[in-house]
Structure 1
Amino acid sequence: MSDGPEILLTNDDGIDAPGIATLRTELTALGDVTVVAPDANQSGVGRTRSHTARIREHPWGYRLSGTPADCVAYGLRGLETDFDVVVSGVNNGPNAGNYVVGRSGTVGAGIEAAFLGTPALAISAYHSTDFFLSPPEEYDFARPARIAARLVSRALESGVYDDVDLLNVNAPVDASSPPVILTEPYHDYGQHVEPADLETLDDGVIDANGGELAADEQLVHLHDRTWPGVVGWENPFPPTDEHRERYPVGTDRRAMVDASVSVSPLAVTHASPDSAALAEVVETIDVE
């Protein structure tokens, strides 16, 4: 046992992903690390929870058949260790922008931790030119992992988590000395809906997944516009004047345009904002 913090480590890329292995190495120099991570990739599941999950022992801790939030729930309530912090990552690809943050399994693990009363940090990696890390085995996650370990240590020591539930961090893998910027998630999201292509067979109309459609049904594609102006897998945040004008200084997406480390403090327990207008509406509602 070390004198450092008890750390619960998870991710959404799966326990065999390179990012979590690198992060575990860095965190073991800080404290005692227990890994509870998904069996397989769980990207994009947010803080979805399962009713049941299969658990198997792993040399680092445990591998679990469910989501990142399931892993955190099991670690914090199914193990006897009293964890000081939950760390999630290093994610293969960034989690920046208000909508993306809400959908991320990496961040979802931190949200589950916050609801269970444990501070958390979610760390995601990007490449300032390539942006998406594909295939992840060809990239070095060491710098984001070191940044995460240092932030965890300093945040615990300085009382950051007295005011903050979760730190969402995006760090470049390729910048040698990236500046660290305090940021907030930027709202930049759209949705495109279009009719889906259908195949008509003798036994009815089915969708691409083989599900039969009734006569009064139609199939549509819902395309998220989470990365604006992107065609294919190109970098949505190149270092251009156009993108610097689009994203204000202090936002997580501007930090990526500038190849910086973005650190966004989040309150995730759905605190209620004060609304004088809503108070007046509630007072004047007639239920008869």
Structure 2
Amino acid sequence: MSDDLEILLTNDDGIDSTGIRALYDALSDHANVTVVAPADDRSACGRSLSHEVDVDERDLGYAVHGTPADCVVAGLAELGPFPDLVVAGCNKGANLGEYVLGRSGTISAAVEAAFFDVPAIATSLYVPAEDTPFDEVELTAAEYAEATRVTSYLAEHALEAGVFDHAAYLNVNVPLPDGEPAPIEITRPSKRYEMDAERDGTRVTLHDRVWSDMDPDSLPDPEGTDRRAVVEGRISVSPLTAPHSTNHHDALDALARTYRETVEPTDG
């Protein structure tokens, strides 16, 4: 990784989180890193944008009182040198599956960068579900070691290797460290979706049942998916594109041709 490489680093867990500090320390050994991150936890906010945000200067960098997407726009357009690469993370908790991509602030930061034509890496740490509620789980910097190692490796090599000629961003999900470095598997996002809802009087509770079934012995996700790779101890790297693509549909073309023949004209 060249010392001349400029990286914009952001996240959605907030500028004071352990994950972003660990990633900053790793990346800044060999690159110029500018941190522009939310002032507080903005997890699962998707690509929400603000019209105006306050900015504080902290020891690590700029703390934006807004969303990860705000941070990327502010960082690229105003606060920092224009970077070669945007890195988002390291997120506490995995970002796996197609349906999660639009909800995640970590992923959304990478997507926002793509609209600026800046390649990006979004890195998340898979934390297996246990008896402790997830929001009470505390992780040390050492537990991010695998995530920071692979992110640094990709930041160092992916640009020169031409990876971003074919992908707008990489969604990287990493297991907790387990002695030897984990292998990388190039994956696709899982298509599983198991949301449901339950009403109790005036309240409706939404349940995401995907995360309750992450047992390696019974995981229903097929080979090649991000969820299977990370649960089985491999680093999942999904090369993804943005903006969203469109497909040609003959059936929709036919509807467009007959539209004016089948609707009544309006008066006036």
**TM-score using structure 1 length:** 0.83
Residue 86 of structure 1: SS of its match in structure 2?
Answer: strand
Mapping of 1:133-152 within 5 angstroms?
134-137=137-140, 140-152=143-155
Query: Which residue number in structure 2 is paired with residue 250 of structure 1?
Result: 224
Give structure 1 stretches of 5+ with no counterpart.
198-218, 231-235
Q: Cα distance, 1:43 vs. partner? A: 0.5
How many residue pairs are counted as aligned between the two chains? 257
Distance in structure 1 (CA, Å) of the matches to 2:129 and 2:229: 14
Question: 1:25-80 CA distances to partner (integer Å, 9 max, x unpaired)?
Answer: 11112310000011110100011111111101122320011011111010011135
Distance in structure 1 (CA, Å) of the matches to 2:181 and 2:95: 21
Residue 171 in structure 1 maps to residue 174 in structure 2: yes
Distance in structure 1 (CA, Å) of the matches to 2:121 and 2:230: 18
Which amino acid counterpart does residue 188 of structure 1 have in structure 2? Answer: R
**4+ residue runs of structure 1 moved beyond 3 angstroms?**
127-133
Q: Do the aligned residues in 1 keep the contact of 2:175 with 2:231 (CA within 8 Å)? A: no
Distance in structure 1 (CA, Å) of the matches to 2:74 and 2:11: 14
Seq. identity, %: 41
Distance in structure 1 (CA, Å) of the matches to 2:141 and 2:23: 16
CA-based RMSD: 2.1
Query: Which residue number in structure 2 is paired with residue 121 of structure 1?
Result: 121
Residue 140 of structure 1: SS of its match in structure 2?
Answer: helix
Mapping of 1:40-189 within 5 angstroms?
40-79=40-79, 81-127=81-127, 134-137=137-140, 140-175=143-178, 176-189=180-193
Question: 1:158-183 CA distances to partner (integer Å, 9 max, x unpaired)?
Answer: 11112211100000123332111001
Residue 136 of structure 1: SS of its match in structure 2?
Answer: coil
Residue 245 of structure 2: SS of its match in structure 1?
Answer: coil
Query: Which residue number in structure 2 is paired with residue 15 of structure 1?
Result: 15
Give structure 2 stretches of 5+ with no counterpart.
none
Q: Do the aligned residues in 2 keep the contact of 1:67 with 1:105 (CA within 8 Å)? A: yes
Which amino acid counterpart does residue 49 of structure 1 have in structure 2? Answer: L
**TM-score using structure 2 length:** 0.89
Q: Cα distance, 1:255 vs. partner? A: 0.5
Q: Do the aligned residues in 1 keep the contact of 2:175 with 2:235 (CA within 8 Å)? A: yes
Distance in structure 2 (CA, Å) of the matches to 1:276 and 1:83: 42
Q: Do the aligned residues in 2 keep the contact of 1:128 with 1:256 (CA within 8 Å)? A: no
Question: 1:241-272 CA distances to partner (integer Å, 9 max, x unpaired)?
Answer: x21xx111110011123111000111120121
Q: Do the aligned residues in 2 keep the contact of 1:37 with 1:64 (CA within 8 Å)? A: yes
Residue 227 in structure 1 maps to residue 210 in structure 2: yes
